[in-house]
Each structure stands twice: as structure tokens, then as C-alpha cells.
Amino acid sequence: MTDDIPFRVGQSFDVHARSDDPDRVLVLGGVSFPGEPGLAGHSDADVVAHACIDALLGAAGLGDIGQMFPDTDPALEGADSIDLLRRAALAVRDAGWRPGNIDCSVVLDRPKLVPVKAQMEKNLTEAAGAPVTVTGRRSEGVGALGRGEGVVAWAVALVAR
């Protein structure tokens, strides 16, 4: 019976294409990158926060980001994804689970994440109420990601009773 399981793991993947809108700012882990092309999406398109949300929701058996925060909801247009992560973590707690940690890997060639990695982790950790680590990976110029057409993130989350 699943009620007896003290821990659960959720895994997720998210991808967003670069936006053609010159006014759209790139947001990753709650950090803005002025001058970098933003990502297309209904919210702020923070692919890092979205992957963290889906991993948490999946671990707790609460569906996915599209079910909790549908892109058809006009109230969520331009939403701050760090706030969405905060709300998802609260739903996880309300379901009787406690977020343990989240690890997220992001694939993009630019911008460099090292200068803001600590701030990204702080933003995500505060929203999730659990430690969040972020690692950046380069595509080394391969494929659509290497051409800068989008950004991909994978995340794994642990929740406990």
C-alpha cells in the first residue's frame, strides 16, 4: 500500500523554446538575464522552476504543472514561476508529504550560470522549503540547444512522510 511508503521520488523534464519577443527577458531559477532572449511560455517560462515543480508534484502523486497551473488560465499569464513553485510545495505539504530536496540540471550554452548559481539555488530553496541544487550543462553547440533555440531542464525531487 502506498500509504506505508515513507519516501517517494519524482523526476521531470521541461523545455521551452526561445521567444521572438524582444521584450521578453530570460528567467532561470528566479534570476533575470537582461539582454538574453527570453523563453516562450504562458508564465515567465522559467524552465528551471517548472522542472522543480513537476518533480515535486510527481513525487507526491499530485499530477503535473499543467494540471495545477494550466496554460489556459488567463490569471497565470506572465506568472512568476518561483511563486508557482512555492504554491506547489504547499500543495505537497497539504497532501501529507515534506519536500526533502530537489536537484535540477539545466542545458544551455549561454548565458553562463556560474555567476548566479547561488542566487538561483537560494530562490528555489526558499520557494520549495527544501534544499535545491542546480547544475549547468553545455550542449557544446550540438543540435537545437547548441543553436540556442531553447533551454532544457531535468529535475529529481525527494519527498518524505
- For residue 50, the domain's CATH number is 3.30.1330.50
Buried b (16+ CB within 10 A) or exposed e, 128-150: bebebebebeebeeeeebeeeeb
Distances (CA, A) of 144 to 17, 39, 46, 69, 147: 9, 14, 18, 27, 5
The C-alpha atoms of residue 50 and residue 81 are separated, in whole angstroms, by: 7
- Domain limits at 64? 2-160
Q: Give me the amino acid identity at 97.
A: W
Question: What's the structural domain count of the chain?
Answer: 1
Quick one: CA dihedral 153, 65, 1, 99, positive or negative? Answer: positive
- Residues 40-53 have pLDDT tens digits of 999 999 999 999 99
- Residues 57-94 have pLDDT tens digits of 999 999 999 999 999 999 999 999 999 999 999 999 99
Q: How high is the pLDDT of residue 146?
A: 87
What pTM does this model have? 0.96
Q: Which of 56, 44, 48 is nearest to 128 (CA)?
A: 56
Residue 13 in grid coordinates: 523534464
